Structure 1
Amino acid sequence: MVIVPTATIRGVRTTPPQLGSQPALREANSQRIVTAIRHHGALTQVEIAAATGLSQATVSTIVKHLVGQGVVDTRTTVRTGRRAQLVTLAQRSGLAVGVQIGSRSLRVLVGDSGYEGLSERVLPLPRDHRADTTLDRVALLIVDLLEDLGADLSDVVGVGIALPPSRSPGTERLRPVDAADEWHETDVAEVLSRRLGVPVVVEQDATAGAVGELRFGAGRGATDILYVRCSYLVNAGIVLGGRPFRGRRGLSGEVGHVEVDPSGAICTCGSRGCLNTVVGADALTDLLRISRPRITLRDLIALALEGDAGCRQVIADAGAAIGAVVAGLALALDPEKVVVGGELAQTGELLIGPLRDALSRRVPLAGVGGVDVVAGELGSESEVQGLVALAFDAAATGATASAGKEQT
């Protein structure tokens, strides 16, 4: 996995080469070796041979070539009582870590200063995961990933961590809209920084996704974008003039709490009829309770892609509802692009088509020079890639607190 979409990984092509020549064969084998190290972490040359199916002689030759290119590093280690050459991906000056804590999963990415992802892990989380146990898990996972790379915490310049909607970057705590939430009184930056001994920057997940797509994905070349994250809940990240805009209290982009049904259900924030009560995961799956009583959001997405009529209708209606709210935000900010990400974006035009149509019905947003509505290019990587970039930004400016504490 590479943060900057490019045709090479430190000199190794990421697209299949034209076979039939010795250089092309070596290039293909080089890619297999780099992929194996990226997937498994540090490996000896014997282990690389086993993982790739290449001969040990071929591995030895290619590793020497990759060392010369600066793609990998080697060091002596001991395995099963014998000396061996341990091969790791070469590190550029300093590492940063991106951590996304979602509603149902945890994703951790270690990247170098060239914005290249070196190691990544995704773990499931229980629905009501606790702050203390989750942050303990994050700290242990970061240490494990660094060890796999032959690195340690002294190599890390910072950690960027994203929290789900309604957790305020400005205070590192959950805003008091749901006092029952275990994260309510947790100072995430302070707790994680104390555990790891490195600076921590806290960001809202959609803002992190916006930064990721702006720098490395569908927003490249733009300066003003909206990133709409359609997941278990809906929220948006805003970038204006190339910089994240968060608002005075980190509330900007909380489109999930815009009222869409004055007589609707009470939201977790305490207001009635918020967008999240209509297009949140629970609301969408509840619409199918008669035909599919135990369906999950993942099931809903998979069935919609397989052509299930009911699931496709649910996704389309969600896109239209989200688009109606995003249209108002787009009219206020006049962005160059609206980039759509999150789990629901996996359905492509099933979701994005109705969302785009809702924006186009607002005449100022339609026609020549109107806002461009596109799918994110980074998929589930948008947030963690943005967080790695934000962690390096914070290190470069000497910032050690949450990005949300500064108005940008």
Structure 2
Amino acid sequence: MNRLRVLDAVREHGALTQVEIAGVTGLSAATVSNLVKELDAAGAVQLTPSIRNGRRAVQVSVAASHGLLAAVVFGDRDVRVALGTGGPEVLSQKRMPLPADHAADEGVTRGARLVHELVATSGHDMGEIRAVGIGLPAPIDTVSGQVGSEGILPGWRGVPVASDMAEALGTPVLLDNTANLAALGESKFGALQGVSTGIFIKASYGVGAGLIIGGELFRGSAGTAGEIGHVTIDEDGPICRCGNRGCLDTFVGAQAVLGALRDSHGALTLRDVIARARDGDPGCRRVLEDAGRHIGVAVAGVVNLLNPEVVALGGQVARVGDLVLDPMREAIERCAIPSAAASVDLRLGALRPEEADVLGALVLADQVREDADRAALATV
């Protein structure tokens, strides 16, 4: 366990001297010295001479042979891949468009091809990839490892995505919902850092949530916790793609937002609406304000249930900032228990919408690597 404490310290903080490791971990300098020797012998760390405060020192960092991590995150019409080492920096990344309603086999094939291309163009080889985190914009049933709804991403239903991708890439793979991944990214590197109980709301083409409880991502008994987009807010509302009626997604998803503007503005994309709203278009501003109010009503219920410290808004819709946050805040204050509403901090996510879930996927991959490291170091 102490070897892992040292390894976790240099993984999180970057290269450290042994004195700095002792300060971070609370271990004695002599203990750190012995542990570093053991980790060096195991090939888990790299030692580099340096000068600190005018004195010679040795910097300890994660060994290059410790390997790379990869992320493959699918959107409704694209796939993004990235390489990292476990910190907040993405070494390289690439995006490829996908057709609407694409099937799983096409997505897996293109995603795997993109990883191979990115690894090659970055000067690495696939043998360096220790693990891959995969994200899908759909509820993931952790029991079956498949998409957990018939109507959401129907082309992916019944497909063992993680095992198919692991076979295509030849490395361990872990799969999760993209809202959960974005919450992981914000918890590790962004607006939810240090937060014990928090909610991340991802509002883009659809809306989802990631729940942080006790400082850890909470997935529920079967992996579908946080599906706030499919909370019913109007029993007589429109039919949702999930099969229910009046879900939050039918009021704030891209189809609802674009449909409300079609007669007055013609055919727009969500990016068009966001750009025009930021430029002052009254119609576009109105539909996004309405979306913020609806999201706030749904979030108020979660605030009553969990009493979170922080609610962070991310996704493409977060680009309009207070235009959505203000009606969200008003709805929470109106609908939540006053003490719960008063104690929650509503803020924007700190990471860009296109990077939060990618960083979260790399965090997920790092968990796979850490599990393997624990098993390996236990035998040293």
Q: Distance in 1 between matches of 2:143 and 2:251?
A: 28
Q: 2:305 aligns with which of 315, 324, 332?
A: 332
1:162 maps to what in 2?
A: 135
Q: C-alpha deviations, 1:79-126, integer Å up to 9, x for none?
A: xxxxxxxxxxx9573111112101122111100134421001122222
Q: Which amino acid aligns with 2:137?
A: P
Match of 1:366 among 334, 341, 346: 341
Q: Say yes or no: does 1:257 pair with 2:230.
A: yes
- 1:198-224 Cα offsets, whole Å, 9 max, x none, are 000001111111110011011112122
Counterpart Cα distance in 1 of 2:298 and 2:231: 7
Kindly indicate whether the alpha-carbon contact (under 8 Å) linking 1:225 and 1:336 is maintained by their aligned counterparts in 2: yes
Residues in 2 aligned to 1:176 and 1:284: alpha-carbon distance in whole angstroms: 23
1:138 aligns with 2:117: no
Q: Quick one: structure 1 residues 252 and 293, their matched pair in 2 at CA, closer, same or farther if it must change by over 3 Å?
A: same
Q: Give SS of 2:265's match.
A: coil
Q: CA distance change for structure 1 residues 91 and 150 in 2, over 3 Å: closer, same or farther?
A: farther
Which ranges in structure 2 are unaligned for 5 or more consecutive residues? 1-12, 16-47, 51-62, 374-380
Is the contact made by 1:212 and 1:386 (CA closer than 8 Å) also made in structure 2?
yes
* Alpha-carbon distance, 1:139 to partner: 0.7
What secondary structure, in the 3-state scheme, does the structure 2 residue paired with 1:366 have?
Answer: helix
Counterparts of 1:119 and 1:392, CA distance in 2: 17
- What is the alpha-carbon distance in structure 2 between the residues aligned to residue 301 and residue 114 of structure 1? 31
1:385 to 354, 359, 363: 359
Question: Which residue of the partner structure matches residue 311 of structure 1?
Answer: 284
Is 2:83–2:93's contact at 8 Å kept on the other side of the alignment?
yes
Q: 1:276 to 1:114 in 2, by over 3 A?
A: closer
C-alpha distance in structure 2 between counterparts of 1:154 and 1:327, whole Å: 47
Deviations 1:28-57 (A, max 9, x none): xxxxxxxxxxxxxxxxxxxxxxxxxxxxxx
For residue 164 of structure 1, report the CA deviation from its aligned partner.
0.6
SS at match of 1:219: coil
CA deviations on 1:215-253 (whole Å, 9 max, x unpaired) are 101111212210000011111001111111011122211
Question: 2:328: which partner in 1?
Answer: 355
Moved more, 147-156 or 298-307: 147-156
Structure 1 residues 300 and 180: alpha-carbon distance in aligned structure 2, compared to 1, 3 A threshold: closer
Contact 2:194 2:215 in 1 (8 A): no
1:105–1:125 Cα contact (<8 Å) kept: yes
Choose the corresponding residue for 2:196, options 215, 223, 243: 223
Change (3 A) 1:316 1:390: same
Q: How does 1:54-69 map to 2 (within 5 A)?
A: none
Map 1:40-51 onto structure 2 (within 5 A).
none
Name the residue aligned to 1:232: 205
Look up the equivalent residue of 1:96 and give its one-letter code: L
Between the aligned partners of 1:321 and 1:234, the Cα distance in structure 2 is 11
The corresponding residue for 1:124 is 97
2:76 corresponds to:
103
Contact 1:284 1:314 in 2 (8 A): yes
Deviation sequence 1:366-387 (CA, Å, 0-9, x none): 33xx111110111121101011
What is the percentage of aligned positions where both structures have the same residue? 39
Give the structure with the higher percent helix.
2
How far, CA to CA, are the matches of 2:292 and 2:153 in structure 1? 30
What is the Cα deviation at residue 340 of structure 1? 0.6
Could you list the per-position Cα deviations for residues 247-295 of structure 1 after superposition, in whole angstroms to 9, with x for gaps in the alignment?
1122211011111111111111111111111111001110011111211
Report deviation, 1:357.
Answer: 1.9
SS in 2 for 1:201: strand
Instruction: Quote the Cα distance in structure 2 between the aligned partners of 1:276 and 1:386.
Output: 23
Match of 1:39 in 2: none
Q: State the partner residue of 2:220.
A: 247
Q: Aligned residue for 2:29?
A: none
How many residue pairs are counted as aligned between the two chains?
315
CA contact (8 A) 2:65 2:128 kept: no
2:31 maps to which residue? none
Q: Residue 73 of structure 2 aligns to a residue in which SS?
A: strand
Deviation at 1:169, TM superposition (A): 4.2
Q: 1:174-323 to 2 correspondence within 5 Å?
A: 174-178=147-151, 181-323=154-296
Name the counterpart of 2:40.
none
Partner of 1:18: none
Contact 1:168 1:204 in 2 (8 A): no
Q: Which amino acid in 1 is paired with 2:185?
A: G
CA distance in 1, matches of 2:183, 2:193: 11
Q: Which amino acid aligns with 2:358?
A: V
One-letter amino acid of the counterpart of residue 364, structure 1: S
Deviations 1:161-205 (A, max 9, x none): 111123434423222432881101211001000111100000111
The yes-or-no answer on 1:150 pairing with 2:139 is no
